[in-house]
């Protein structure tokens, strides 16, 4: 067993832009803990023959193949049929698959219809994988020299099945392979905001020595530049490389310091929420161009009611005046998109909500509405902590309307994060 893996993400929606694949990173991390490296990733539409081709290709270069998607009840869900065709294992209804599926549906007050009964069809010789949170069972079978695992595409179902069903099977397979053990593939993540990718790259240049068994990676999104350090997962590190990863991680922290807002899987809203809760502070939001996105993100975190009091979407000038008390003449003089109005919005929401801090955002998300002096992407963030003049910050973002809103929400939360940290130091 060469302990290399390939992930095959299945679904036409992954190809045409309707949905992004978020499963591969999780799978790579979990496989890496076993020393199994994901060397390839394929994305395939809902065409049976294309999936068959992807399986045949993967089996030539990997001994662990993890497939996600295409196990649902609809006509376009054909992963079961494709695996059967690719491997020559005939499909048949399996009692344990049917019982698990019907029991889950019964918990939801439903009974299986004809289409859903297809989900109990499993290739012969395969091990049925229980789905602890959904209705579609998965399966695992060995074909030629490859272990083929088929999981649902729904992230929470895939993650639960991977942890509870698949990893124990793979541990046993690795242990019985007779090959010397490989070090776990360790991946450390650092989330940064406020620097462009090129600037992050420049600050980290020369950090990883040539020939070191660690890869440095950068991944850009509207919310962050993600920095990763990943060990190569060969034989256990020895000599000068034994403590290399911790040293490199400390180097990333030192070089990027204030721009790192989280490590691991934490998101900005989780970081900010913890800091607010730790200090016993409360917050209220006044959102214009973000349309409630900041509030949505904060309430995605369990327990956010401890610190989030309210949020106001004050999109129009009238709403800013009536709901926040922003003077109409100030809007007329400075414009709704201005640092003065952002400050007044933050102050107004804090005073009306009687909270510790008010946070505001106003800007031009586009695609229209910009001028020569106030172009699309111009955004002002305001923060009022009730102890002096409100803080305001100007940003000029690029991208489409969705990206500008995402970046505006991230900038607002990052300003809050920095304010909380500065407040602790003083």
Q: Do 233 and 275 share a domain, yes or no?
A: no
Q: Do 308 and 347 share a domain, yes or no?
A: yes
Confidence of residue 167 (pLDDT cuts 50, 70, 90): very high
CATH number assigned to the domain comprising residue 376 = 3.90.950.20
Residues 325-359 pLDDT 10s: 999 999 999 999 999 999 999 999 999 999 999 99
Indicate the average pLDDT of the chain: 93
Per the structure, how many domains does the chain have?
3
Q: Do 304 and 231 share a domain, yes or no?
A: no
Residues spanned by the domain of 215: 187-263
Q: Do 379 and 418 share a domain, yes or no?
A: yes
Residues 83-120 pLDDT 10s: 999 999 999 999 999 999 999 999 999 998 988 899 99
Q: Do 239 and 378 share a domain, yes or no?
A: no
Q: Do 127 and 87 share a domain, yes or no?
A: yes
Last residue of a domain, one of 207, 240, 263: 263
Q: Is residue 181 assigned to a domain?
A: no
CATH number assigned to the domain comprising residue 97 = 3.40.980.10
Residues 6+ apart with CB under 8 A from 2: 63
Asked if pLDDT for residue 16 goes beyond 90, the answer is no
CATH number assigned to the domain comprising residue 255 = 3.30.70.2860
Burial of 239 (0-12, 13-18, 19+ CB in 10 A): exposed
Q: Do 333 and 417 share a domain, yes or no?
A: yes
Q: Enter the pTM of the model.
A: 0.82
Task: Kindly state the average pLDDT of the residues 234-256.
Answer: 80
Asked if pLDDT for residue 40 goes beyond 80, the answer is yes
Asked if pLDDT for residue 152 goes beyond 70, the answer is yes
Q: Is residue 61 assigned to a domain?
A: yes
Q: Is residue 182 assigned to a domain?
A: no
Q: Is residue 309 assigned to a domain?
A: yes
The predicted structure's pLDDT at residue 243: 84
Q: Is residue 49 assigned to a domain?
A: yes
Which segments of 274-423 are extended strands (E)? 283-287, 308-313, 357-363, 378-384, 391-396
How remote is the C-alpha of 298 from its chain's centroid? Answer: 15
The predicted structure's pLDDT at residue 238: 53
| Residue 196 CA neighbour count, 13 Å, CB half | 5
Q: Do 19 and 115 share a domain, yes or no?
A: yes
Q: Is residue 307 assigned to a domain?
A: yes
- Nearest-angstrom CA–CA distance, 260 and 273: 16
Q: Do 253 and 274 share a domain, yes or no?
A: no
Q: Do 284 and 403 share a domain, yes or no?
A: yes
Q: Do 26 and 166 share a domain, yes or no?
A: yes
Last residue of a domain, one of 218, 239, 263: 263
């Amino acid at each position: 067993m060469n302990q290399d893996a390939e992930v095959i993400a299945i679904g036409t929606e992954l190809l045409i832009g309707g949905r992004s694949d978020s499963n591969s990173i999780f799978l790579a991390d979990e496989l890496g803990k076993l020393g199994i490296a994901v060397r390839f990733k394929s994305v395939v539409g809902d065409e049976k023959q294309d999936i068959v081709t992807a399986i045949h290709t993967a089996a030539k270069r990997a001994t662990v193949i993890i497939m996600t998607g295409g196990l649902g009840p609809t006509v376009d869900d054909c992963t079961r049929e494709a695996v059967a065709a690719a491997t020559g294992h005939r499909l048949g209804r399996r009692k344990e698959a049917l019982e698990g599926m019907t029991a889950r549906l019964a918990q939801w007050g439903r009974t299986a219809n004809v289409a859903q009964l297809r989900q109990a069809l499993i290739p012969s010789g395969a091990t049925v994988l229980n789905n602890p949170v959904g209705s579609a069972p998965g399966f695992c079978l060995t074909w030629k020299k490859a272990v083929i695992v088929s999981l649902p595409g729904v992230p929470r179902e895939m993650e639960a099945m991977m942890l509870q069903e698949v990893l124990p099977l793979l541990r046993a397979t690795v242990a019985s392979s007779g090959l010397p053990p490989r070090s776990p593939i360790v991946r450390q993540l650092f989330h940064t905001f406020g620097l462009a990718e090129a600037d992050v790259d420049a600050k980290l240049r020369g950090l990883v020595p040539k020939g070191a068994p660690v890869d440095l990676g950068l991944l850009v999104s509207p919310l962050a530049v993600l920095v990763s350090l990943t060990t190569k997962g060969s034989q256990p590190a020895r000599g000068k490389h034994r403590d290399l990863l911790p040293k490199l991680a400390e180097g990333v922290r030192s070089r990027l310091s204030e721009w790192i807002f989280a490590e691991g899987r934490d998101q900005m809203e989780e970081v900010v929420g913890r800091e607010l809760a730790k200090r016993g502070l409360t917050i209220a939001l006044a959102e214009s161009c973000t349309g409630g996105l900041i509030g949505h993100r904060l309430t995605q975190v369990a327990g956010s009611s401890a610190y989030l009091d309210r949020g106001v979407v004050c999109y129009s000038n009238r709403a800013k005046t009536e709901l926040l008390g922003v003077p109409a003449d100030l809007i007329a003089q400075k414009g709704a998109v201005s640092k003065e109005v952002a400050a007044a919005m933050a102050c107004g929401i804090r005073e009306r909500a009687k909270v510790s801090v008010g946070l505001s955002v106003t800007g031009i998300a586009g695609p229209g509405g910009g001028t020569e002096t106030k172009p699309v992407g111009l955004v002002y963030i305001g923060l009022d902590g009730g102890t002096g003049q409100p803080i305001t910050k100007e940003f000029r973002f690029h991208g489409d309307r969705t990206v500008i809103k995402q970046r505006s929400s991230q900038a607002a939360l990052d300003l809050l994060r920095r304010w909380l940290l500065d407040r602790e130091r003083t």
